[in-house]
């Protein structure tokens, strides 16, 4: 609960959005560079890199709110207060000059010219302009933050609507519990060692094979699949069961949540597309490792893409067998005989997860802030005004009681 209130307080700061955008960009750039270095590795490894990066980006607001901050580029507020107090005191300290002036033949009228108080007005004007500029920038960031919050709410609402529609479509489909399709499904589950419960559905619409569901997976096939050969059914079910075994639907949910939170950052959408491409290639590798010929598998994918719809209504939470996006590169990876198709190892997953957790924690310690500078400059301007008022009071009191000087002997 304490972290929740810290997160609310963090969102209320004018510069939190800039902080999130810069840090999320740094994490995604690191993931991009790492995947460039892992070009010869398997698609499963690169998919793990992008997945860990997006999960780190999604957890970034909570980590930012939980860790203590070291502000970059400016003092912290107490340090800025002390520094500006010293600077303002020295800048606004009055300089008093006493000039004795004697009036001839009148001893009682011997007076002294009132003190002349000088200030560094130019320094005060510059501070006032800087404070106004920072105040305007802070207001602009607050307006942008409100637009961002509205966009996040709309994106989350869309995701909730898609989830409801997905369940509605699942209830409209026919469940298969026996027959040739069901028997091939059980055989494929044994081949992959899939222990998660799976429901097999068929639909009259020309929808390509797809999978959804986190706790209990559902695999949807078109009604036409009953006319396919056993090998074609086996290939389609192997691909969808590979998604189930890899928990791709759960990761897809987190990817969509990340896109909803960071909808202003185009790099997040690019990373989501990379997750999709590497995910499909990793499932293709599993199909090919289970005795399917690359040429036959590529031919079947080509037929699926050309004949069936991609299911746009369910693409946010469901994972389909094929799509036109990046299909040419996917076919090249399937037909490439030297391609590494090994699944990612547990120790590799742990190492990548620790890497991005450490990077996110390191970024969370630092704070990209301009509002602290504005606060310090505003405090400096206020203290300058106080020093000026004190100096004016000192001058008035000096005029009210002028000092009397004696004649030199």
**Spatial separation of the C-alpha atoms in residues 298 and 296, rounded to whole Å:** 5
**Spatial separation of the C-alpha atoms in residues 154 and 250, rounded to whole Å:** 21
**Spatial separation of the C-alpha atoms in residues 366 and 362, rounded to whole Å:** 7
The DSSP call for residue 308 is S
Q: Which region among 79-88, 216-225, 294-303 has the lowest average model confidence (pLDDT)?
A: 79-88
Nearest to 185 by CA among 197, 168, 169, 173: 197
Beta bridge partners of residue 128, listed in sequence order:
none
In this prediction, residue 327 carries a pLDDT of 85
- Give the pLDDT band (50/70/90) at residue 14: low
DSSP H or E stretch at residue 198: strand 198-203
Residues 25-41, mean pLDDT to the nearest whole number: 95
Between 134 and 215, name the one with better pLDDT.
Answer: 215
> Would residue 93 be called left, alpha or beta, if left means φ above 0 and alpha means ψ between -120 and 50 degrees?
beta
- Give the pLDDT band (50/70/90) at residue 309: low
φ, ψ for residue 367, nearest 5 deg: -130, 120
- List Cβ<8 Å contacts ≥24 apart for 325-331: 325/273, 325/276, 325/277, 326/273, 326/276, 326/277, 326/280, 327/301, 329/277, 330/277, 330/280, 330/281, 330/284, 330/301, 331/298, 331/301, 331/302
Nearest to 303 by CA among 213, 384, 350, 236: 236
Proportion of the chain above pLDDT 90, given as a percent = 41
Residues 239-267, mean pLDDT to the nearest whole number: 93
In this prediction, residue 273 carries a pLDDT of 93
- Give the pLDDT band (50/70/90) at residue 341: very high
- Give the pLDDT band (50/70/90) at residue 58: very high
Residue 7 has pLDDT above 70, yes or no: no
The DSSP call for residue 200 is E
**Spatial separation of the C-alpha atoms in residues 350 and 88, rounded to whole Å:** 53
> Secondary structure of 165-185 in the HEC alphabet?
HHHHHHHHCEEECCCHHHHHH
List CB contacts of 209: < 8 A, sequence separation 6 or more: 219, 220, 221, 222, 225, 236, 237, 239, 240, 304, 320, 321
**Spatial separation of the C-alpha atoms in residues 271 and 274, rounded to whole Å:** 5
Residue 164 has pLDDT above 70, yes or no: yes
Residues 116-132, mean pLDDT to the nearest whole number: 54
Task: Yes or no: say if 54 and 271 are a contact pair by the CB < 8 Å rule.
Answer: yes
With tokens 């990373």, the residue in question is 271
**Spatial separation of the C-alpha atoms in residues 225 and 185, rounded to whole Å:** 13
Between 211 and 318, name the one with better pLDDT.
Answer: 211
Residues 252-276, mean pLDDT to the nearest whole number: 94
- Give the pLDDT band (50/70/90) at residue 373: very low
Residue 120 has pLDDT above 70, yes or no: no
- Angstrom CA distances, 192 to 110, 280, 395, stand at 109, 17, 90
**Spatial separation of the C-alpha atoms in residues 177 and 287, rounded to whole Å:** 24
- Give the pLDDT band (50/70/90) at residue 155: very high
């Amino acid at each position: 609960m304490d972290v929740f209130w810290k997160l609310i307080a963090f969102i209320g700061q004018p510069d939190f959005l800039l902080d999130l955008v810069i840090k999320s960009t740094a994490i995604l750039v690191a993931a991009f560079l790492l995947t460039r270095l892992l070009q010869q590795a398997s698609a499963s490894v690169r998919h793990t890199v992008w997945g860990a990066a997006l999960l780190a980006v999604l957890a970034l607001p909570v980590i930012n709110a939980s860790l203590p901050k070291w502000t970059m580029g400016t003092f912290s507020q107490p340090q800025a207060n002390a520094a500006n107090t010293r600077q303002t005191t020295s800048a606004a300290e009055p300089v008093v000059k006493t000039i004795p002036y004697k009036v001839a033949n009148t001893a009682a009228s011997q007076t002294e010219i009132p003190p002349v108080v000088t200030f560094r007005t130019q320094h005060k004007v510059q501070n006032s302009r800087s404070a106004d500029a920072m105040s305007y920038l802070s207001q602009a960031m607050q307006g942008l933050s409100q637009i961002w919050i509205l966009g996040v709410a709309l994106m989350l609402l869309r995701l909730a609507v898609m989830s409801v529609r997905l369940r509605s479509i699942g209830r409209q489909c026919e469940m298969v519990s026996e027959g040739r399709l069901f028997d091939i499904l059980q055989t494929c589950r044994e081949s992959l060692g899939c222990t998660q419960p799976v429901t097999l559905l068929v639909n009259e619409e020309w929808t390509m094979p797809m999978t959804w569901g986190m706790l209990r997976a559902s695999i949807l096939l078109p009604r036409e699949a009953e006319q396919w050969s056993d090998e074609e059914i086996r290939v389609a079910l192997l691909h969808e069961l590979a998604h189930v075994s890899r928990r791709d639907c759960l990761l897809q949910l987190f990817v969509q949540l990340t896109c909803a939170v960071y909808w202003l950052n185009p790099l997040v959408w690019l990373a989501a597309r990379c997750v999709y491409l590497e995910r499909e290639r990793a499932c293709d590798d599993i199909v090919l490792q289970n005795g399917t010929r690359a040429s036959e598998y590529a031919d079947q994918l080509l037929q699926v893409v050309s004949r069936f719809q991609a299911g746009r209504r369910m693409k946010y939470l469901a994972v389909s067998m094929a799509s036109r996006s990046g299909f040419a590169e996917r076919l090249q990876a399937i037909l490439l005989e030297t391609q590494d198709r090994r699944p990612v190892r547990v120790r590799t997953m742990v190492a990548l997860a620790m890497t991005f957790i450490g990077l996110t924690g390191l970024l969370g310690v630092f704070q990209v802030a301009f509002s602290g500078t504005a606060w310090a400059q505003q405090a400096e301007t206020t203290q300058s005004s106080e020093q000026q008022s004190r100096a004016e009071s000192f001058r008035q009191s000096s005029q009210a009681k002028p000092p009397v000087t004696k004649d030199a002997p």
